[in-house]
């Protein structure tokens, strides 16, 4: 890398559209899995609260899944989902998100104080209305804490998908490495980190709007 500067601003200027496309692809393959994870974690968490015996084995399974190296899982999926498809990257990321979100959902639903639950019942709330009006709002700070961890790691992990052909901004790392040209790599690192920080800020804002009482509490020690 003799005499090559870390960033050639000219390259960045001429590739803005290209970078925007990769950023968009990255956002889709990393954030949709978090949404899917949430959509699965909510009913599953409710089941675990209703049937506590279910929770331990499920938590153990997802603990093991969380320990699986992303690249290895991508690779193992290739024969089933194909090279360079979104599914190859999104299925493992959904599992990682679920592994983070299931415990936080269960903790959140369990955090509703028993008197509050009884008060809602005494006011004539049925189980569904109580869930929507009392239990889910109480769980919001927990859910947001889980979502922050899941989203940030999903965004960071998605770039590894570039090694199996579909990694959004991760492609910049391979491109720059193969051409001994650091500018795309630096641009990729900056954009991935920025996407993660913006997502985190959006989640914090959502918590502010949905659960304003949770501001100065640190709820989940994960």
Partner 1 sequence: MNLLSWLSQFFSDPDRRHGPDSIVHRVGEHLLFSGEALGWAVLLAVPLGLLLGYTGKAAGLVTALSGAARALPTLGLVTLAVLVAGVGDTAVLVPLVALAAPVLLVAACEGVRSTDPDLRDAARGIGLTHRQVLWQVCIPWALPTLLAGLRTAAVQVIATATVASYVGLGGLGSYVVGGLATRDYAQTIGGALLVVLLAVATQLLFALLIRYALPAGLRRARD
Please state, in angstroms and rounded to a whole number, the distance separating the CA atoms of residues 131 and 69.
36
Query: Rule CB under 8 A: is residue 221 a binding residue for partner 1?
Result: yes
Q: Residue 34, interface with partner 1 (CB under 8 A)?
A: no
| DSSP letters for 130-159 | HIIIIIHHHHHHHHHHHHHHHHHHHHHHHG
Q: Does 209 bind partner 1 (CB under 8 A)?
A: no
Which residues from 87-146 bind partner 1, rule CB under 8 A? Answer: none
- With binding defined as CB under 8 A, does residue 172 bind partner 1? yes
Residue 153 binds partner 1, judged by CB under 8 A: yes
Under the binding rule (CB under 8 A), the answer on residue 69 touching partner 1 is yes
Per rule CB under 8 A, is residue 185 in the interface with partner 1? yes
- Piece of the chain touching partner 1 by CB under 8 A; list 87-95, 123-131, 132-140, 149-157: 149-157
Question: Whole-angstrom Cα distance, residue 114 to residue 117?
Answer: 5
- Separation of alpha carbons 160 and 171, rounded Å: 9
Candidate segments 43-51, 97-105, 117-125, 154-162, binder of partner 1 by CB under 8 A: 154-162
CB of 128 to partner 1, least distance (A): 32
Q: Alpha-carbon distance 97 to 120, whole Å? A: 31
Are the CB atoms for 23 and 169 separated by under 8 Å?
yes
In Å, what is the CA distance from 70 to each residue of 1, 2, 53, 98, 207?
A: 30, 34, 29, 14, 29
Judged by phi (left if over 0) then psi (alpha if -120 to 50, else beta), residue 181 lies in beta
Contact residues for partner 1 (CB under 8 A)?
1, 6, 63-64, 67-73, 75-76, 78-79, 148, 152-153, 155-156, 159-160, 162-164, 169-170, 172-174, 176-177, 180, 182, 185-186, 188-189, 192-193, 196-197, 200, 221
């Amino acid at each position: 890398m003799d005499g090559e500067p870390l960033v050639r601003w000219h390259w960045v200027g001429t590739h803005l559209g290209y970078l925007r496309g990769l950023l968009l692809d990255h956002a889709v393959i990393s954030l949709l899995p978090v949404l899917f994870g949430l959509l699965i974690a909510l009913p599953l968490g409710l089941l675990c609260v209703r049937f506590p015996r279910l929770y331990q084995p499920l938590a153990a399974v997802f603990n093991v899944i969380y320990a699986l190296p992303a690249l290895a899982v991508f690779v193992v999926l290739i024969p089933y989902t194909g090279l360079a498809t979104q599914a190859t990257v999104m299925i493992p990321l959904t599992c990682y998100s679920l592994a983070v979100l299931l415990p936080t959902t269960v903790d959140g639903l369990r955090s509703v104080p028993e008197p509050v639950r009884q008060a809602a019942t005494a006011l004539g709330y049925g189980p569904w209305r109580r869930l929507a009006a009392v239990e889910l709002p109480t769980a919001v700070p927990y859910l947001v804490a889980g979502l922050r961890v899941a989203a940030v790691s999903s965004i960071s992990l998605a770039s590894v998908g570039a090694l199996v052909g579909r990694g959004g901004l991760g492609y910049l790392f391979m491109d720059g490495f193969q051409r001994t040209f650091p500018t795309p790599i630096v641009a990729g690192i900056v954009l991935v980190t920025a996407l993660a920080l913006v997502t985190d800020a959006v989640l914090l804002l959502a918590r502010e709007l949905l659960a304003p009482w949770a501001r100065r509490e640190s709820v989940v020690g994960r």
